[in-house]
Amino acid sequence: MRFLKYLIFLFVVFLMAFLIRENFYQGESQKNGILMDTFVNIHFWGKDSKKAEEICWKVLESLDEKLNRFNTKSEIYKINKNAGNWVEVSEEVEDILKKAKYYAEISDGLFDPTIGPLMELWGFYNGSLYIPTEKELKKTLEKINWKDLEISKGKVRLRKKGMSLDLGGIAKGYAVQKLLEISKNLNLERVFLDIGGTIGVYGKPLSGDYWIIRIRHPRREGKIIGKIRIKEGVVATSGDYERFFIKDGRRYPHIINPKTGYPSSEIMSVTVISSNGITADALSTLFFILGEKGKELWRDKFRDVGVIIVDKNGEVWKSENIYFEKEK
């Protein structure tokens, strides 16, 4: 009898261990890889974690196929190749282009999705980096104008031949926002998304009440300038350390001012914290181009977002509406 009770006890223990293991497995799911020309890490906790991972990864693969300007099958490639003519696009591509135009409009063209010809001229696409002549810049600037991007009922046209789209300033934020919206409609406890350094979080973290997001130091590899804490939202950073080249002691980053044709070099990095991924991504590009003037823009128009600016001397300025702990 005692032996039978012992066997029953062992069975219950093993059953509990199995159930705990199965519940843990079902309650957490993570996947990473290369999509949208960058490193992607998506992490979900909750009953629908596996479902969320599968749905979100398919969404990212779909966006990658549609938005990749180098993929000959993508819609952006077709728009660029057929500049001057109307091209049929999906609802998703029409949506992101409308949003890109919105930020171009409110920034008076400092954020411009038609920046492609300048990126190509400076060699940021094929790696043949060099400083163009004033004549080359002047000619190329004639092809940069967000107003020449036309959108009409499922069709898109770049008015001038030679124009091309580059959605690098908004695509990651768009993807993060899309995944967050999907996640909020599923049974999940928490979500952590990292698409090329654009971070999206949702739900309560494993410990504490706030997510702690570390901001990379622009010059010290593996170091951070400090930490911010948020309950939910998106953190996007634009910096001069991602793609750049140095000539005669001057650094030329890949973030180009569409008005002058030159890479912006007044600051090292800018981080924007927003409830919306598209806003965070687009404004981090805009604030980077503006440099020190970004502080004025925040005070005048964008007090609903948080901003951290690291100037060319490594000094840190933060907007007063966020918690930021500077690294000692």
Q: Are 36 and 60 in contact (CB under 8 A)?
A: yes
> Across-strand partners of 307?
272
Q: How confident is the model over 202-255, as pLDDT tens digits? A: 999 999 899 999 999 999 988 999 999 999 999 999 999 989 999 999 999 999
The three-state secondary structure class of 219 is: coil
Residue 116: predicted pLDDT: 98
Q: Are 266 and 234 in contact (CB under 8 A)?
A: no
Q: What is the mean pLDDT of the segment spanning 85-111?
A: 96
Angle at 227 between CA 279 and CA 302, to 5 degrees: 30
Angle at 300 between CA 290 and CA 259, to 5 degrees: 30
Q: Are 150 and 290 in contact (CB under 8 A)?
A: no
Q: How confident is the model over 278-295, as pLDDT tens digits? A: 999 999 999 999 999 999
Residue 70: other Cβ atoms inside 10 A: 10
Domains present along the chain, CATH in parentheses: 29-65+169-326 (3.10.520.10), 75-158 (1.10.3980.10)
Mean pLDDT of the chain: 91
Residue 328: predicted pLDDT: 74
Provide the CA 9 distance to its chain's centre, in angstroms: 53
Rounded-to-integer distance, Cα 90 and Cα 108, Å: 27
- Phi, psi (deg, nearest 5) at residue 314: 85, 5
Residue 287: predicted pLDDT: 96
Q: Provide the 8-state DSSP code for 231.
A: S
Q: How confident is the model over 17-70, as pLDDT tens digits? A: 444 444 444 599 999 999 988 999 999 999 999 999 999 999 999 999 999 999
Provide the CA 251 distance to its chain's centre, in angstroms: 23
Cα–Cα nearest to 177, from 235, 93, 228:
235
| H-only helix segments in the chain | 2-27, 49-67, 75-81, 91-106, 116-121, 134-141, 171-184, 277-290, 294-301
> Across-strand partners of 226?
215, 326
Residue 170: predicted pLDDT: 97
Residue 26: predicted pLDDT: 53
- Would the pTM of this model clear 0.75, i.e. be above it? yes
Instruction: Look at strands 87-88 and 155-158 and give their pairing.
Output: antiparallel
Reading the block at residue 16, the tokens are 């509990």
More confidently predicted of 327 and 313: 313
Calculate Rg over the CA atoms of the chain. Answer: 23
Instruction: Look at strands 190-195 and 224-230 and give their pairing.
Output: unpaired
